[in-house]
Each structure stands twice: as C-alpha cells, then as structure tokens.
Amino acid sequence: MYLAAIGKLKPGPEKTLFDKYAVRLLSPLKVIEIPEKKGSTQDIRKKESEALLAAIAPNSYMVALDEGGQEWSSIAFADRLAVWQAHSHELGFVIGGTEGLTKPVLQRANAVMSLGKMTWPHFLVRALLVEQLYRVQCIHQGHPYHKTGRPI
C-alpha cells in the first residue's frame, strides 16, 4: 500500500502524529512525497497533478482524497478497503497540495474519498488517513481500539 502526497512532511506535530500510527501498521505504508511546485495557481495545480499521476503505478487501485468524495464510516471504510485490496495488485492513496487535486487526477482515481465536508490542511490529512488505516486494521483483527456505537 502506498500514499502519494504533495509536500514533504517536516518534523513537527503532524509528522509525530503520522508516525505514531504508521509504525502500528502491520504492512508498511510506502510514502511518496512530491515536492510542492511554484508558480501561478493554475501552474501549481498542473505541475503537481502531472507529478502525482507519474508517481502512481498504472495497475494500482488509486483512491484520491478530496472534499467532494464519498464519506464512509470507519466500518464502511474497513469493508471497502478489504474489497479494494482483494481486487487489486497494489492499493494507493493520493493527497493533493494546498491547491487540491485536478480533474485528470480525480478521473484517474478508482474511488474518491472524503474525510468530511470541512477543509483540512493537507499535512493533517496524512495523519487522519493513517489513523483510519490503523483503525481498519484493528477492526479486521477484532481489536478493541475501534469502539462501535455511541455512548448512551
């Protein structure tokens, strides 16, 4: 499994949080960091999109993280992840930079996923995603990390 993302995650709270969950994954998450591009908004979006598309293996099942994507509960995400992994040679996630993802990247995606309607900093999205991947692992193992239901 891989994560292709714009920007280099530097030491700080976001990296600490990302690392906290990434080390817990039984299968290592390969992280492909693509340098942030410079120029006009249009140039940045075009260059970053081209770099993301070039980093993605043609035969991989790609899930793009975008605020316009489908929202799932953790249980539903666990179910989907199991299906994606069963039917693909390689599974990957893509996170854009501050200018977001372009139409070509979203069209290449096999699925588009949202972490909610709020806008999140792209470095924080990495931490949120890896925590959910760890949660899915726990759900599949029957580990008590994930609490089903709400308190009364």
Q: Is 26 annotated as belonging to a binding site?
A: no
The single-letter code of the amino acid at 97 is G
Q: Is 8 annotated as belonging to a binding site?
A: no
Q: Is 113 annotated as belonging to a binding site?
A: no
Q: Is 119 annotated as belonging to a binding site?
A: yes
- CB under 8 Å, gap of 24 or more: what pairs does 140-146 form? 140/78, 140/82, 146/74, 146/75
Q: Is 84 annotated as belonging to a binding site?
A: no
Q: Is 53 annotated as belonging to a binding site?
A: no
- CB under 8 Å, gap of 24 or more: what pairs does 77-84 form? 77/113, 77/132, 77/136, 78/135, 78/136, 78/139, 78/140, 80/111, 81/133, 81/136, 82/140, 84/110, 84/111
Which segments within 27-60 are labelled E, that is strand?
30-34
Q: Is 118 annotated as belonging to a binding site?
A: yes
Q: Is 120 annotated as belonging to a binding site?
A: yes
Positions at the binding site: 65, 96, 115-120
Positions at the binding site for S-adenosyl-L-methionine: 65, 96, 115-120
